[in-house]
Structure 1
Amino acid sequence: MKTGFQVETSAGLRVLDVDFHTLIVAGWAGRDRAAVEHHIEELEALGVPRPSRVPLYYRVASNQLTQADQVQVVGPHTSGEAEAFVFTHGGELYVSVASDHTDRKLEAHSVALSKQVCVKPVARAAWLYSEVADYWDELVLRSYIVENGQTVLYQEGPVASLRTPIELIAACESGTLPEGTGMTCGTMAAIGGIRPAAVFTMELHDPRRDRSLKHRYQVDVLPEVS
C-alpha cells in the first residue's frame, strides 16, 4: 500500500513515499495498569471480551490503511480512536497520527475481525521520531467528533499514559519495526463513552514546538443488509 507523507524536520521538509506491506494495531498499550483496566471495562460494557494479554498485537491487512477524507463503513456501529502511528523508512523511525476505526458491534464477537473490517485513516504528515523522542511524554493525543451539529472533544491526554513506541516495538513478536511495517500505538478512554460519529478528527500535538499532526475524515454509513 503506497502512502505519502510530508515530514517537517529541523532541516526542512521531506516527502516520503512509503510502501506498507504490514499493518499492526497495538492494543491495551497503556503504561498504567489501572487505566488499561478502565478501558477494558469500558469495552466490556459493550460486550467486548477481555484481551488474552497486554499489550496485544493485531494484524490488519495493509490495504486498509488510507489517507482519504471520507471512509465507508457497513452499519451504524463503528467509531474512531486516535493513536500515534509509527513506521520505519530509510532506516529512520517516523511518527504520524492514525485512527483505529473499529466496528463496535462486531467487536463483541471478535476484536481482531472488528479491526479488520474497518479502514485505518492516517494523516498525510509525519515527524522524525528522533526529534520528539527526548520529550515524547509531553506530546498530547486528542480527537474530536461532530455530534448534533457541534464539534465535541472526544479524547484527550498525554501520550505519557501509553507505552512508548520503542517499548511497543520491543515487545512485539519480531522486536523490530522493519521497513514497510506500520504500527498504531494505543489509545485512551473516550470522554462520555464510546459512540459513533459522522465526522472524526484526530490530532497529535507537540507543545514544545507548537505544532500538530492532524487528520479529519467523514464516515459514510452503508446499509447493513441481510
Structure 2
Amino acid sequence: MLIFERLGLERSDRVGFAPYRLIVAGWAGRDSAAIEHHIQELEAIGVPRPSSVPVYYRTGAALLTQKERVEVLGPHTSGEVEPFLMAMADGLWVGIASDHTDRQAETVGIALSKQLCAKPVSTQLWRWDDVSGHWDDLIIRSWIEEDGNARLLYQEGGVSSLKNPMDLIGGLPADTSFETGSAMLCGTVPVLGGIRPSTRFEMELYDPVLERSIRHVYLPTVLPVIS
C-alpha cells in the first residue's frame, strides 16, 4: 500500500492506494532528435535500439515504492526522473517517479531490466486538472552524488519535450486500458554527462506557474552479486 499526500488547489487529503497495473513508457519524447539522443546514450552502454517509439513496458505494480532505501543487485543500476500519472477513483493524479533500471541487464532485454529494479515514487501528488492547462511549463530535474560532490545536477528539462500524458494514454495498445488502479511512468529527459550509478538520487517536478514542487529522494543500496 502506497500512502499519498494529495495536494489539490481546492482541497488536500491523505490516502492509501495500491495500484494494480504499472506501465513504463519508453522513448516518449515529442522531439525525434531528443529521442535519438537518448537512444544513443543507451547504445553507448550496449542497449539495442527499440523496434518502435514510444514503447509501453508492463512491469509489476509491486515494484512501486516510497522507501528511502532501495536495494539493487550489483553496481550497474541507475535512476532517471519521470512524470508519474495515476488513475484513482476521483480522477488522474500526477507525481514523480524514478525508472531505476539495471543497465547491465538492459543490454540483454529492456523489459527484463525494468522488472529487476524497484520504481521509487513520490509521496505527494497533484490533481491532473490543476496542472493540465499549463503542463508544458513544468520542469523535471534530478541530482546524484559523484566523486565527493554531494549534489550534482544529473537531469533537467521541460516536460514539453515529452509526449503529453493524455497522448500516451491514447496510444496504449488496444488490450490495455488506463482505468482506476493504473499507473504510468511517462518518459524522461537526457542525462548530463552520461548514464551512471549513484549512491543517492534526488528528483523534482517543478511548477513555475503555481510556484510549487514535488520532491523525492532515495538511496540505492548495492547488494553483492554472489556466483
TM over 0.5: yes
Q: 2:194, 2:108 → 1: CA distance? A: 20
- The 2-side partners of 1:219 and 1:204 are apart by 20
Matches within 5 A, 1:52-131: 52-131=51-130
Contact 1:97 1:122 in 2 (8 A): yes
Residues in 2 aligned to 1:105 and 1:128: alpha-carbon distance in whole angstroms: 36
Structure 1 residue 17 displacement after superposition? 1.7
Stretches of 4+ aligned residues off by more than 4 angstroms: none
1:153 match: 153
1: CA distance, partners of 2:132 / 2:182: 19
Paired position in structure 1 for 2:197: 196
Assess, with a 3 A threshold, how the Cα gap between structure 1 residues 17 and 126 changes in structure 2: closer, same or farther: same
SS in structure 2 opposite 1:160?
helix
Alpha-carbon distance in 2 for matches of 1:52, 1:3? 34
Paired amino acid for 2:105: L
Would you say the 8 A contact 1:31–1:161 is kept in 2?
A: yes
| C-alpha contact 1:25 1:57 (8 A) present in aligned 2 | yes
Q: Which runs of 5+ in 1 are unaligned?
A: none
**How many Å apart are 1:189 and its aligned residue?**
0.8
Unaligned runs of 5+ in 2: none
Partners of 1:107 and 1:77 in 2: CA distance: 10
Mapped partners of 1:140, 1:101: distance in 2: 19
State the alpha-carbon separation in 1 of the partners of residues 21 and 53 from structure 2.
21
Instruction: Summarize the alignment of residues 13-28 of structure 1 with structure 2, pairs less than 5 Å apart.
Output: 13-28=12-27
Q: TM-score, normalised by structure 1?
A: 0.97
Q: Is the 8 A contact 1:69 1:218 kept in 2?
A: yes
Q: How many residues align?
A: 225
Counterparts of 1:210 and 1:147, CA distance in 2:
29
Matched residue type, 2:142 = S
Secondary structure in 1 matching 2:136: helix
3-state secondary structure, aligned to 1:132: helix
Corresponding letter in the other structure for 2:143: Y
**Structure 2 counterpart of 1:210, one-letter code:** E
- Output the aligned Cα RMSD: 1.0
2:206 is aligned to 205
Cα shift at 1:91: 3.6
Counterpart residue identity of residue 44, structure 2? A
Q: Which amino acid aligns with 1:164?
A: N
Residue matched to 1:182: 183
**How far 1:61 sits from its partner (Å)?**
0.7
Q: Which amino acid aligns with 1:88?
A: A
Q: Determine the C-alpha separation between the residues in 2 that align with 1:137 and 1:154.
A: 21
TM superposition score normalised by structure 2: 0.97
Counterpart Cα distance in 1 of 2:126 and 2:13: 10
Counterpart of 2:51 in 1: which secondary structure?
Answer: coil
